[in-house]
Structure 1
């Protein structure tokens, strides 16, 4: 099968983040094993999802990982002009949810497997496909934890997020948390008898706003846009009716951190503001939803130099979005971002990838495999 045919199959699986992914995992496993790869399905703690790890070549020596995620964001936009889970070709454009982010990369990697399997490899090429990346890289930590039993420590990991096939050496880290505030309900005519959870959240919200503003003038890294860490409250829900004292509120907060800054630590002022409400009779719960560190790879690192040779272009310094690359680096494995498509097309209606982008990625992966030959 070529990359376009494989992409057609992959897009057909509605593997939306946070939902079961047994269908796409089973199909990739069967295909990869048919190409001669050794495949391990790694069931996840959630019980209805799994990571997948495949290897071509010897496992006892270091090789390279091609890392990507099988999940996609929901396709709820009303402006789709075709079924988002049915690949549609229009000229050299291929439309469908996940075409750029990032089933295009998975398709190119899988399409290269037959040729790679026929090479006399001295070092292995691995495929590491994870779940729930779109929820803050929740799946890949479990995969990385299992790597020592699956292969020798890799020389590097290439994360196939859409980058126009330009290798990227750095990205921000991210942490997301949920806070729940519980007060006491009652009739709005007697506010003295209740505890208004929405009013209480005002102090937490103010702490988040002030913390975010302070970051703009603190530690800076000009590699990023913007050059500072950031913090925002992304969702707020609570209350039943205007004449009822709201007894509960739930909010989600995220922080994005430049290199050298812990994203989870950036959330601490918000957490402390929430905890302080307990002194006023409120109950609070704080849960860290996801967290991954920033990536920072030196321009002269062997992996960066290799990617320049494979792509024929200089590496880019940084992007502000995040990937699992920082988790690989934290595990002692050099990592870099490089994949087909454009991040600007992701997470929106009529997402697409170009046929030539798929072909270029396929070629890059085969060139990578050539470096692993005897």
Structure 2
């Protein structure tokens, strides 16, 4: 089979690539003649990959260097080829069309075939294309877990669109619960806006340009759209802030969060932001704020809820472009650019 792998440092073998010394894009190679992996343990499935996504900054992740010649990629859509023969009562069978997200330390979906776990996989909504299905799992799961698991917001019943309650969620003072989403037009941000609306929250979407993004964010259900330069002028505080940007924007969130709010960041460079911000004296007076960084984890239950929402059109997968797996290097370079359009770059396998 063909697979896109990260090759070792050939310029300086004594300095291997790592998160501290990330591989350049030139270390990515489309290799052929790679053996097809096989399920070798309970809960494993062999998938014929049909589409996968390009994840920005994947070459900076420590998990990328957990082994030599690691195959990149986490999102996938495709067809079940085989199920480990000792699994009884598996929810999947050969021929099933599925989608999902391989765990961060496993990956391996930039290939013709990939071994994934049952817990990482769900049946694909029939009306979605391979590209649309692949574009959803990592971003939608991140949004779902950030808002409902880490943010403490009660999730709506996404499996019952006709009976979905869009009644307002109230804070401890009886007002409508306020959610701020930074990076609202990004891959995770769009799902956060939609899910916050579905949960009955007052959703404020932060963006770099109202003129460019206001109409789009309103279509997703944002209650209010605000540019970053205007954020600190707001007097109303937020009950929940989900940050996808990091940096100075994340620092400013301490001024915006309520006294007993929840501040969550998913920005990979902000993994230790709580400690760093405390050292800078940020948020010292807000002892009731729950602040944390988290990394998404596969969950078949959460993915099942997302699948229902995708099937009923409650949330929307966005694909900015489709490229061939053989163009993976170019696709990764484009993902690192300032703007790739709305949605994910999808590799068609």
In the superposition, the TM-score normalised over structure 1's length comes to 0.26
Larger Rg: 1
Asked which structure has the greater RCO (Cα within 8 Å, sep 6+), the reply is 1
In the superposition, the TM-score normalised over structure 2's length comes to 0.27
